[in-house]
A and B are shown apart, each in its own frame.
Chain A
Amino acid sequence: MKEATVLGLGASLAVAISPTYVNAEGTKQTKHYAMLVDLTRCLGCQACTASCKAENNVPFGVFRTWVERHEKGTFPDVSLQFVPRLCNHCDNPPCVQVCPVQATYKREDGLVLVKDDRCIGCGACIKACPYGARYFNPIKRVADKCTFCQPRVDQGLEPACVTTCVGRARVFGDINDPSSEISKRIGRKPVQVLKPALGTEPMVFYIGLDVVQVR
């Protein structure tokens, strides 16, 4: 019994780490991770910001994710809108294009990552990112950013910001899998991305972004 549990865990871990898997129809499929942020569900509590800091040891003064607060209307007819921001793990990432030493790269499963031991700290990727998602990590002295919590994802877990989101505003998953929650929710409602005109093909989608003046 014990052995079977271990084997089962091992099998699910292998599925989590490998970018390709065999789906229900028996065909080989590649995972493509993305995030959906439903702004109609975001409370602006910043739990995601705090959990990201704790999970990834993000230094003081810089952020892998943050929640913007946008005011709308004039008193007394006013409202607040919250927009969580993070690396968009673009399918056409300008940061990967400009890195002179291949330190930043896009993994087969869609994650855009930085090799800490190769980054020379030139700042080209930081300047190339239209979303301000990158920063110089003052401790590691390299470029740093959201990794979609890659070590957690590789173990089959969700990113820390997703698990701590009290309103379930953030949904993470494989958009190549039609049965995943993210695919279903993207299919049900219209979604937007940040700065679509730049052609970066972001993999962070929003519901309700069309009513907020986000730049």
Chain B
Amino acid sequence: MSYILPNEMVEWDLLIALYPFLTGLVAGAFIVSSLYYVFGFERFRRLSSLALIISIAFMIAAPLPLVAHLLQPSRAPEIFFTPNLTSPMSIFGYLWVTYLAVMLVEGYFMHRRYIANRANKATGLLKVFYRFMSLSKDTSDNSARRDLKVVRSLALLGLPLAAIFHGYVGFIFGSLKANAWWSTPQMSEIFLLSAIVSGVALVFLSYVIIATATKTEIDRDLLSYGGKVLAWFILMDSVVELVEVLYRAYLQAEDWSAISQVFFGQLFVPYVGLQFILGAAAPLLLLTSRRIRRSSFGMALASTLALIGTFVMRYTTVIGGQLISRTGQGFLTFTAPLFGQGSIFTALSTFGLPLFIVAFLTTVVPWEAKDTEVIAQ
């Protein structure tokens, strides 16, 4: 017998599953960018600009699924004017503005010398545009060193912001004691680790695609190194997620029966098949091979699988958690509509926008850091 309360519905739909996926990509890509500027991971130098561009593009799109999901989207600014400070959700507006500003300023100083150079060389309207953008004509090495200092400071400041920006999303879910699947203190760590997985995967997938499209030579050592980093994060993320499930299974608390019926029943294919086997075990297995790590197709495939795994994790967390009734003795069902609010089409369009922004930004500023003329380093 299924015992469901009459008001229970899956109110948080596909768009809410997409939201942590987008914020995860923001945080993950930003961390990749900071690996060079803050921690001196020399091998990531070449991708530091691309990673930041991806981070900015997805940051611009991050609020869209949230606002599109609201029943009163015109009241969204209330979050700035009357924030309830006991609500983790209330910090979104301020955090988004602060973090986006940090990323934009960092991106600007990263490319300031390039823009100033273009301002000096360009003619006509382009010259006016680049002059306006560069703010100064100084292209000296001293100015580049100053830029680098600013970039490093902002990359450092951005790291805790990245952790908070995505960690608080995990906190929103983890702190809801009404939900058997969500309410775990581990939720923030799980979200953060999977964010890094998706960020690293997207940066390398974009690298392979853009380099192939622009006929740029691909750095095989960089690919192989990135593959190792990706594999380590997939491993850490999977371990944390599996340990969480193992604990719940072993503790056999009153909610376990309902949880196991949803995640190993209704959601078996997405949860076990897509999230753990196709989205984690398969890329992990692929990345153990040095040949695959050095191949563009191999890295693109492993990255795509890791991205699918991360998205499915967001889906099974957000939707899966709502399929268990508060009674623990009944289950809801969910099918995403093709069109309309919260539909597959809306989610795909929302995800497509940052990809367009990445395509645009990589054509107007250098995405690959080769020398200091191009990027502060």
Assuming A63-B7, A134-B7, is B87 touching A100 (CB within 8 A)? Answer: yes
Contact between chains at A142 and B82 (CB < 8 Å)? no
Partner of A118 from B66, B71, B78, B329 at Cβ < 8 Å? B78
- The CA-CA distance from A126 to B179 in the complex, in Å, is 11
Contact between chains at A121 and B176 (CB < 8 Å)? no
Chain B residues numbered 346-362 whose CB sits less than 8 Å from any CB in chain A:
none
List of B residues within 8 angstroms of A142 by Cβ: 71-72
Contact between chains at B177 and A119 (CB < 8 Å)? no
Assuming A121-B70, A130-B177, is B87 touching A215 (CB within 8 A)? Answer: no
List of B residues within 8 angstroms of A36 by Cβ: none
Say if the beta carbon of B5 comes within 8 Å of chain A.
yes
Assuming A99-B84, A142-B72, is B177 touching A127 (CB within 8 A)? Answer: no
Contact between chains at B11 and A127 (CB < 8 Å)? yes
Say if the beta carbon of A43 comes within 8 Å of chain B.
no
Query: What is the distance, in angstroms, from A49's C-beta to the closest C-beta of chain B?
Result: 10
- A-B pairs with beta carbons under 8 A, tally: 105
Say if the beta carbon of A128 comes within 8 Å of chain B.
yes
List of A residues within 8 angstroms of B90 by Cβ: 100-101
Contact between chains at A215 and B6 (CB < 8 Å)? no
Query: What is the distance, in angstroms, from B168's C-beta to the closest C-beta of chain A?
Result: 12
* Dominant SS among interface residues on chain B: loop
Say if the beta carbon of A80 comes within 8 Å of chain B.
no
List of B residues within 8 angstroms of A127 by Cβ: 11-12, 176, 178-179, 322
Query: What is the distance, in angstroms, from A127's C-beta to the closest C-beta of chain B?
Result: 6
- The CA-CA distance from A160 to B78 in the complex, in Å, is 33
List of A residues within 8 angstroms of B71 by Cβ: 120-121, 136, 141-142
Contact between chains at B326 and A128 (CB < 8 Å)? no
Partner of A128 from B66, B73, B92, B178 at Cβ < 8 Å? B178
List of B residues within 8 angstroms of A94 by Cβ: 176-178
Partner of B176 from A98, A103, A122, A141 at Cβ < 8 Å? A98
Say if the beta carbon of B328 comes within 8 Å of chain A.
yes
Chain A residues numbered 55-104 whose CB sits less than 8 Å from any CB in chain B:
62-63, 66, 85, 94, 96-103
List of B residues within 8 angstroms of A215 by Cβ: 3, 326-329
What class of interface size applies to chain B in its complex with A? 35 or more
Partner of A101 from B11, B78, B176, B322 at Cβ < 8 Å? B78
Say if the beta carbon of A124 comes within 8 Å of chain B.
yes
Contact between chains at B178 and A130 (CB < 8 Å)? yes
Assuming A118-B75, A130-B177, is B7 touching A101 (CB within 8 A)? Answer: no
Chain B residues numbered 294-351 whose CB sits less than 8 Å from any CB in chain A:
322, 326-329
Partner of A136 from B11, B76, B79 at Cβ < 8 Å? B11
Say if the beta carbon of B86 comes within 8 Å of chain A.
yes
Contact between chains at B75 and A120 (CB < 8 Å)? yes
List of A residues within 8 angstroms of B329 by Cβ: 215
Contact between chains at A101 and B83 (CB < 8 Å)? yes
Assuming A127-B11, A127-B179, A132-B326, is B79 touching A101 (CB within 8 A)? Answer: yes
- The CA-CA distance from A128 to B171 in the complex, in Å, is 13
List of B residues within 8 angstroms of A134 by Cβ: 7
Contact between chains at B72 and A132 (CB < 8 Å)? no
Which single residue of chain A is at the shortest CB-CB distance from B329? A215
Contact between chains at B7 and A141 (CB < 8 Å)? no
Assuming A102-B82, A129-B178, A134-B7, is B70 touching A122 (CB within 8 A)? Answer: yes
Assuming A120-B76, A127-B179, is B5 touching A85 (CB within 8 A)? Answer: yes
List of B residues within 8 angstroms of A131 by Cβ: 5, 326
Say if the beta carbon of A123 comes within 8 Å of chain B.
yes
Which single residue of chain B is at the shortest CB-CB distance from A64? B7
Say if the beta carbon of B135 comes within 8 Å of chain A.
no
Say if the beta carbon of B137 comes within 8 Å of chain A.
no
- The CA-CA distance from A173 to B377 in the complex, in Å, is 70
- The CA-CA distance from A198 to B255 in the complex, in Å, is 14
Partner of A97 from B12, B69, B86, B92 at Cβ < 8 Å? B86
Say if the beta carbon of A171 comes within 8 Å of chain B.
no
Contact between chains at B78 and A120 (CB < 8 Å)? yes
Contact between chains at B87 and A99 (CB < 8 Å)? yes
Say if the beta carbon of A39 comes within 8 Å of chain B.
no
- The CA-CA distance from A120 to B177 in the complex, in Å, is 22
Chain B residues numbered 76-120 whose CB sits less than 8 Å from any CB in chain A:
76, 78-79, 82-84, 86-90, 92
Contact between chains at B82 and A101 (CB < 8 Å)? yes
Counting chain A CB atoms within 10 Å of each CB, the highest count among B72, B76, B92, B179 belongs to B72
| A interface, CB within 8 angstroms of B | 62-63, 66, 85, 94, 96-103, 118-124, 126-136, 141-142, 198, 215
Closest 6 CB pairs of A and B: A121-B71, A132-B5, A215-B327, A100-B89, A130-B178, A135-B7
28 A-B residue contacts at CB 8 Å?
A: A63-B7, A94-B177, A97-B86, A98-B87, A99-B84, A100-B79, A100-B89, A100-B92, A101-B82, A102-B82, A118-B82, A120-B73, A120-B76, A120-B78, A121-B75, A123-B11, A124-B87, A124-B172, A126-B11, A127-B179, A127-B322, A129-B178, A131-B326, A132-B5, A136-B9, A142-B71, A215-B3, A215-B327
